[in-house]
Amino acid sequence: MNFKKPLVIAAASAVAVTALVGCVPRDAANTSGSPVNPTAPQSSGSTGHTGTATTAPTAPSTTPATAVTTFADAKQALQTAAQAHPGGVITDLDYEEHGNHWDVEIFKADSTMVTLELDPTGKTILLQEPLELADSDDIADAKRAVINILDALNAVPSHLQGTVYDINLDNVGTQLLWEITVLPAGQTAQTRVLVDAVTGSLV
């Protein structure tokens, strides 16, 4: 009997198994431990994406910057407006915080009114609105005022001077008054100063 033949078959089978094992891809064969090419860890909260989590940039603030307007700025705005319309009577100075400009109303001798916009320093006219017919009562008040708006501003006591918000000519009872809204330096509450538009005295 020939007993060597089974040994040959067994040896051939072993060679075939070895060859098959050698053909298995390295990644498939490495089923334990760290992977050959590790994938970057997923960020928390992400789905199906890999890589380092990034923070979306914050949208810039749209809130306009507010300029700090001093007494000098208010006086300059009044002087610039007066030079642009000589002979006119300025009855209103108002600072628009959101637009960062001064509004100045001027009554002219021909019974018209013009509104100017000036930069925060009061040196530059940004816009002049079209002339319009003035209200008869406003014209009468403008003619009645003996103390002009600049003199009224100068009448504010030094300890109340600081930031100027607005100056308006208005009738209060039987008196014609300049109403001046200011924020005194070093304080947090606005103050209204009243100046008699006929006598110039503080009320």
Residues sharing a CB contact under 8 Å with residue 62, sequence separation 6 or more, in sequence order: none
Quick one: pLDDT band at residue 98, thresholds 50, 70, 90? confident
Q: What is the mean pLDDT of residues 180-194?
A: 96
First-to-final CA distance of the chain: 140
User: Is it the case that residue 56 has pLDDT exceeding 90?
Assistant: no
Q: What is the mean pLDDT of the chain?
A: 78
Burial of 128 (C-beta count, 10 Å sphere; 0-12/13-18/19+)? middle
Distance of alpha carbon 178 from alpha carbon 197, whole angstroms: 6
pLDDT at site 28: 43
Q: Locate 10 and state its tokens.
A: 């067994």
Q: Indicate the helix (H) or strand (E) that contains 166.
A: strand 162-172
Which residue did the predictor score with more confidence, 42 or 115? 115
Residues above pLDDT 70, as percent of the chain = 67
Tens digits of residue pLDDT in 102-121:
999 999 999 999 999 999 99
User: Is it the case that residue 5 has pLDDT exceeding 80?
Assistant: no
pLDDT at site 48: 46
Q: What is the mean pLDDT of residues 174-188?
A: 95
- C-alpha radius of gyration, the chain, whole number: 42
Q: What is the mean pLDDT of residues 133-161?
A: 95
Distance of alpha carbon 172 from alpha carbon 189, whole angstroms: 23
Distance of alpha carbon 132 from alpha carbon 150, whole angstroms: 24
Which residue did the predictor score with more confidence, 6 or 116? 116
Specify whether the CB–CB gap between 160 and 180 falls below 8 A.
no
Strand, coil or helix: 50: coil
Q: Locate 202 and state its tokens.
A: 């503080």
Q: Produce one character per residue of 46-85: b if its CB has 16 or more CB atoms within 10 Å, e if not.
A: eeeeeeeeeeeeeeeeeeeeeeebbbebbbbbbebbbeeb
All structural domains of the chain with their residue ranges: 71-196
pLDDT at site 63: 38
Q: What is the mean pLDDT of residues 81-95?
A: 97
User: Is it the case that residue 62 has pLDDT exceeding 70?
Assistant: no
